[in-house]
């Protein structure tokens, strides 16, 4: 027993020092190489500061809607709802989102609604939506703003971010950046 105890204590101390000190400093150092020194992507619009890497609520018809958040877009309390796809409360919440979407998008079938526009992400703070989720909203946004669908579609195309290195992830659109571009149209 003695022969196992001291090596275990030594390993614990080494891991504690490494992961609470050295590893933390390494990650902090790498963050300093990132744009904005790891503090997130800051976007200023009309004197107001926004973080483009944190989801924000957009629910007016003249904007593209964000992905729903299980935490009310509160970055201090990121997390999912922890409700599974068979949970009746979760299913009712998603159905309410679907019904709301259909009211604001007449002529769209329930089966055509992309899942990311009615379900929250794992952290509840996803700033992006899929290209499909943006495309399905083009008609509503164009109509409310008095623009042609072609003009709004061009904004969606310009805001589309490709996968990292063309391999990792999917095409996505940052809702904040798209809505700012929409506001800057004039």
pTM: 0.77
Sign of CA dihedral 88, 100, 117, 56: negative
Burial class (CB in 10 A: 0-12, 13-18, 19+), 22: exposed
Q: Would you list the DSSP string of 121-144?
A: -SSS---EE-HHHHHTTHHHHHHH
pLDDT at 173 (0 to 100): 93
pLDDT at 27 (0 to 100): 87
> pLDDT tens, position by position, for the chain (186 residues)?
678 888 889 999 999 989 888 888 888 888 888 777 777 777 777 778 777 778 788 888 899 999 988 877 777 777 777 777 888 988 998 899 999 999 998 888 999 999 989 988 777 788 889 999 999 999 999 999 999 999 999 999 999 988 877 778 888 999 999 999 998 886
CA neighbor of 176 nearest in space, from 75, 64, 74: 64
Secondary structure (3-state) at 147: coil
The CA angle 125-128-132, to the nearest 5 degrees, is: 135
pLDDT at 97 (0 to 100): 92
Structural tokens at position 95: 């159905």
Are 159 and 181 in contact by the 8 Å Cβ rule? The answer is yes
Main-chain dihedrals φ then ψ at residue 57, nearest 5 degrees: -80, 130
CA neighbor of 67 nearest in space, from 172, 184, 139: 172
CA neighbor of 136 nearest in space, from 119, 116, 162, 120: 116
pLDDT at 74 (0 to 100): 76
pLDDT at 112 (0 to 100): 92
């Amino acid at each position: 027993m003695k022969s196992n105890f001291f090596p275990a204590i030594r390993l614990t101390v080494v891991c504690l020092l490494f992961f609470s000190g050295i590893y933390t400093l390494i990650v902090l150092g790498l963050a300093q190489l990132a744009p904005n020194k790891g503090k997130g992507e800051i976007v200023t619009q009309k004197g107001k500061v926004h973080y483009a890497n944190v989801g924000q609520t957009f629910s007016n018809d003249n904007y593209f809607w964000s992905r729903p958040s299980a935490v009310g877009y509160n970055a201090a309390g990121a997390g999912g709802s922890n409700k599974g796809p068979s949970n009746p409360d979760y299913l009712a919440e998603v159905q309410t989102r679907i019904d709301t979407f259909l009211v604001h998008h007449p002529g769209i079938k329930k089966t055509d609604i992309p899942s990311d526009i009615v379900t929250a992400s794992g952290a509840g703070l996803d700033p992006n939506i899929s290209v499909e989720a943006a495309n399905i909203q083009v008609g509503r946004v164009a109509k409310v703003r008095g623009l042609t669908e072609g003009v709004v579609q061009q904004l969606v195309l310009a805001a589309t971010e490709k996968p990292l290195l063309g391999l990792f992830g999917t095409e996505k659109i940052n809702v904040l950046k798209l809505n700012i571009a929409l506001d800057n149209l004039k």
